[in-house]
Amino acid sequence: MTRNTQDSAAEPTGPVGVVGAGTMGVGVCHSLIRSGCDVVVVEPDRRAADAARDRLAESLRLARLLGRGPAGETGRVRWATAVGELDGTGFVVECAPEHLGLKEKLFTELDRVCPPDAVLASCTSAIPVALLAARTGRPERVLGLHFMNPVPLKDTVEVVRAESTSPETMDRALALLARLGKQGVVVADGPGFVLNRVLMMCVAEAAALVDEGSVDAATVDAVFEKCLGHPMGPLRTADLIGLDNVLDTLTVLGEQTGDDRYRPPSSFTALVAAGHLGRKTGRGFHVYA
């Protein structure tokens, strides 16, 4: 179900928290500050935080040059090293790596430090939201916001409603997305939701074909792009997401569903082990300049 709302009363009045300053965290932060939100970014790794500051500034510079909406100012961002510094936020988007234990611990901490009426959203790509909500005393205020990469250029978000998520929480999340100029497609909770439940199996099967040696990655993607009109085939899509992130998602899906079809083939794991993670490293299933 596709939903959008312009209910300004539901929008967050204080700063929005972002946990994790990786690719998705920086992208969410970019979109928030360009919509006029103040943001608190929590990143305990100081080296990662420094790199994220640089990426955010460059991303905003490019957006200004290309005339993509209003200018955003890095002065709207406060950088923090601990979740405890989110005690004044009314809405938090968790963008930590796709590891269940890590996210469960974060939601326990967020529940402890954030105001009782704060909404806690996860940018998880596969972990059932119910597992994270169960780690809090406010399951009605927990939901999933599965942003697409690159966040500033993607205008649709998969909004995951767990059984416990309240209508008010949904309204607040959709109002925030509307402020960002994004539309929410509401889906039910479950491993991988809709998008990655289907996409990740396609990526794993495409990689398995390459592993068999019967076809190369360029041909696999060409079939999807030219025959079906996809902007990118499954392996180019995996390169864009980041093969390390895809591997984490496949692992979660395999564990949560018990389905061996999510098991990554050896060619995939070998690329990740060698540090060939896709576009961000210049090589994955394809080579990038």
Which pLDDT does position 46 carry in this prediction?
Answer: 94
- Whether pTM > 0.95 for this model: the answer is no
Q: How would you classify the pairing of strands 77-80 and 91-94?
A: unpaired
Largest separation between any pair of C-alpha atoms in the chain: 56
Which pLDDT does position 267 carry in this prediction?
Answer: 87
Which pLDDT does position 3 carry in this prediction?
Answer: 58
Which pLDDT does position 11 carry in this prediction?
Answer: 60
Please state, in angstroms and as integers, the Cα–Cα distance from residue 169 to each residue in 11, 40, 138, 213, 262, following that order.
11, 20, 11, 49, 32
Which pLDDT does position 6 carry in this prediction?
Answer: 47
Query: Residue 98: which of 283, 274, 254 has the closest Cα?
Result: 254
What would the two tokens of residue 110 be? 């967020």
Which pLDDT does position 5 carry in this prediction?
Answer: 46
Q: What is the pLDDT along the chain (289 residues), one digit of tens a residue?
A: 665 544 545 665 689 999 999 999 999 999 999 999 999 999 999 999 999 999 999 999 888 887 765 656 778 999 999 999 999 999 999 999 999 999 999 999 999 999 999 999 999 999 999 999 999 999 999 999 999 999 999 999 999 999 999 999 999 999 999 999 999 999 999 999 999 999 999 999 999 999 999 899 999 999 999 999 999 999 999 999 999 999 999 999 999 999 999 999 998 999 999 999 999 999 999 999 8
**Domains within the chain, CATH numbers bracketed:** 2-188 (3.40.50.720), 196-281 (1.10.1040.10)
